Amino acid sequence: MKLLQKGIPAYFIGANYSGAKKAIALNFYEPNSQKLYVWFDDTHEPYCLTNLSPFELDQIEALKKHPSFKRFEIIQKYDALHDQDITVTKVIMKDPASIGGKTNDGIRYIIPDNWEGAKVWEARIHYDGCYIYDKQLEMGMPYQLTEDGKLIPVVYPDAEERIKEITSDEIWCKEAGADIYKGESQGKYKGFKYSRRT
């Protein structure tokens, strides 16, 4: 698979972690050439969140001596269940496998096993999912690399107008429960117009 070139729009179709490169590998499809491309990003740091303070975490020897440990950061997060902002500690690691792992040496086990009442969040999310969410990428949408190597979304000038054209006819089909009116449509429903029920 070739590396994504600068200035070429391509559709984002997948992501996975490359242990060899210690980076996230993003996969793209370029429709004109019908080829797949890959782009590596090593700027994102694996992490999980906890309710413990850095002072408390400092006392967990198994965490501080973990070979993948990097640092702590205090951040604010929105707690949707209680509708309030809370202070949590971001535990940043070198390797995403060290967050969960296949045995009890992952920090999602180390922290609660060594401190009563400790909670750990965002420790059971696949790393590619975490990356996509943090970077606010959208699967199936076009992106391109800028001259300085940044990945940015591609916005086609006529995209909004094309969406309006598609939705303006109110052609909306559902196999069951659709209201059918005579009108213009396509495919096997030609000759009928489907209108969304209210």
* CA distances to 13, 166, 173 from 177, in Å: 33, 21, 9
pLDDT of residue 104: 79
For the purposes of burial, counting CB atoms within 10 Å of the CB of 28, is it exposed (0-12), middle (13-18) or buried (19 or more)? buried
pLDDT per residue rounded down to tens, the chain (198 residues): 899 999 999 999 999 999 999 999 999 999 999 999 999 999 999 999 999 999 999 999 999 999 999 999 999 999 999 999 999 999 999 999 999 877 778 999 999 999 999 999 999 999 999 999 999 999 999 999 999 999 999 988 887 787 777 776 555 454 444 454 444 444 444 444 444 444
Between vectors from CA 89 to CA 60 and to CA 104, what angle results, nearest 5°?
45
Per DSSP bridges, beta strands 47-50 and 69-79 are unpaired
Q: Give the pLDDT score at 194.
A: 44
Query: Which pLDDT score, from 0 to 100, does residue 105 have?
Result: 85
pLDDT at 5: 92
CA 44, CA 166: separation in Å to the nearest integer? 38
Question: Rounded to whole angstroms, how far apart are CA atoms 24 and 44?
Answer: 8
Q: Which residues pair with 156 in a beta bridge?
A: none
- Taking the C-alpha atoms of residue 167 and residue 143, their distance in angstroms, rounded to an integer, is 24
23 close to 40: Cβ distance less than 8 angstroms:
yes
- Per-residue pLDDT, 173: 52
Domains, the chain, in order of start with CATH, read 2-43+134-153 (2.40.50), 47-124 (3.30.70), 159-195 (no CATH)
Alpha helical stretches, state H, 60-178: 61-64, 107-114, 127-135, 159-168
Query: In degrees, to the nearest 5, what angle opens at C-alpha 60 toward C-alphas 59 and 61?
Result: 100
Q: Please tell me the distance from the alpha carbon of residue 196 to that of residue 198, in angstroms, as a whole number.
A: 6
